[in-house]
Amino acid sequence: MVNVGDKKITKRIAIAKAEMFLGAAIISVFNNNDLITKKGPVFQTAIIAGIQAVKKTSELIPMCHPLIINGVEINIDILNDTEIEIICKVEIDGKTGVEMEALTGVSTAALTVYDMCKSISQKMIIKEIKLLEKTGGKSDIKN
């Protein structure tokens, strides 16, 4: 692991995004921006899974520091009749960035949507996962 002992504590924020093709067969059965399957509410469950993943990132990615997370916000929106967008924002006051936490959170939320909807269709595609923004360190990024 990289030694971050000499770094200053700063407010650090990372925002990651996943775009997913679900297809019309899945989107058409959504009601009030969520779908209740035999496993439960899809988006609500995906949000909880994403938050859990953010908190466990250091256990999943070998060289990540365990962090005290100030907050996690995950939003899932239906973009059109075939696609959704998942956004994960993570905030800390710390010595290292939280981009891996945001990327892990958004990835896990997308995988949870896939798992919960695969009984309807297996033609889903997790199209893109990317970091949108990282602030608070020496190399800020805004895509």
138-128-80 Cα angle (round to 5): 120
pLDDT of residue 89: 98
**Assigned domain for 119 exists:** yes
pLDDT of residue 2: 81
**Assigned domain for 102 exists:** yes
Does the pLDDT of residue 142 top 80, yes or no? no
Mean pLDDT, to the nearest integer, of 124-130? Answer: 96
Secondary element (H or E) of residue 107: helix 99-117
pLDDT of residue 60: 95
**Assigned domain for 11 exists:** no
**Assigned domain for 6 exists:** no
Which domain CATH number covers 45? 3.30.70.640
Q: Lowest mean pLDDT: which of 3-7, 79-83, 99-103, 109-113?
A: 3-7
Residues designated catalytic: 115
Q: pLDDT tier at 123 (50, 70, 90 boundaries)?
A: very high
**Assigned domain for 5 exists:** no
pTM equals 0.93
pLDDT in tens, 22-46: 999 999 988 878 888 888 999 999 9
Does the pLDDT of residue 16 top 90, yes or no? yes
Bridge-based pairing state of the strands 83-94 and 125-135: unpaired
Mean pLDDT, to the nearest integer, of 94-119? Answer: 95
pLDDT of residue 68: 94
Spatial separation of the C-alpha atoms in residues 122 and 141, rounded to whole Å: 35
**Assigned domain for 60 exists:** yes
Q: Any bridge partners for residue 86, and if so which?
A: 18, 76
Q: How far is CA 22 from the centre of its chain?
A: 17
Number of domains, the chain: 1
For residue 35, what are the contacts with CB-CB under 8 A and spacing of at least 6? 26, 29, 41, 42, 43, 116, 117
Structural domain boundaries enclosing 102: 23-136
| Burial letters 71-105, b for 16+ CB under 10 A, else e | ebebebeeeeebbbebbbbbbbebbbbbbbbbbbb
**Assigned domain for 72 exists:** yes
**Assigned domain for 124 exists:** yes
